[in-house]
Chains A and B, each alone.
Chain A
């Protein structure tokens, strides 16, 4: 696609429910990243994919959070048993690896999660 696409753009859920957030990166971008932006914490890194593997999961805040990427393309971030503190905007970004513009980030519009 032309840009990084995220869905849903807005999600309201009840505490304790599971949610899935989807990211479709720019075609050809092998690197994919998830970030979280919350009022109290600002922007923070969650996880990095290179292809289908995740060499850096160090930002995932708890074992309720998991992510996968298939076919070197679409990624899903899953939050199990959501808590109110999970309310935030979840941002996905992708980038090329290798070449002159390696590492330049392209962000999606984000998925706003509200846990009631």
Chain B
């Protein structure tokens, strides 16, 4: 079993829909990252969080430390949101940046 599990693996949505991507992990963590990778390959950090909730524009990330679960929400989705979304954690005792990555969720938003 992977230490970081994401669901769903693939997601197709219509423009305007509310989207949720889930991440569960099995290790104690110091931080959780949500990353976005576009088809060209570049990776952008969306959020880094260790508790609670963060919001940036139409994106919201939440984390429940007790349940070892995080969600990434996209409100009013748009075709430009189409990308692979990757959850990654840095474990307790590990160095920052020594991340354990999920396999990613491929999102396609249709106009």
Dominant SS at the A interface?
strand
Q: Interface residues of B, CB < 8 Å — how many?
A: 23
Contact string against A for B residues 68-111, beta-carbon threshold 8 Å, 1 for contact and 0 otherwise: 00000000000000000010101000111111111110000000
Q: Which of A20-68 contact B (CB under 8 A)?
A: 31, 33, 35, 42-45, 48, 55-56, 58-59
Contact across chains for A48 and B41 when beta carbons are under 8 A apart: no
For the complex of A and B, the 10 pairs showing the least CB-CB separation, nearest first, are: A56-B95, A43-B101, A107-B43, A33-B97, A48-B97, A105-B45, A48-B95, A45-B98, A103-B96, A42-B103
A-B CB contact pairs (8 Å), 27 listed: A33-B97, A42-B102, A42-B103, A42-B104, A43-B88, A44-B101, A45-B100, A48-B95, A48-B96, A56-B94, A56-B95, A89-B41, A91-B43, A93-B43, A95-B96, A97-B96, A103-B31, A103-B48, A104-B45, A105-B35, A105-B97, A106-B45, A107-B42, A107-B43, A107-B44, A107-B45, A109-B42
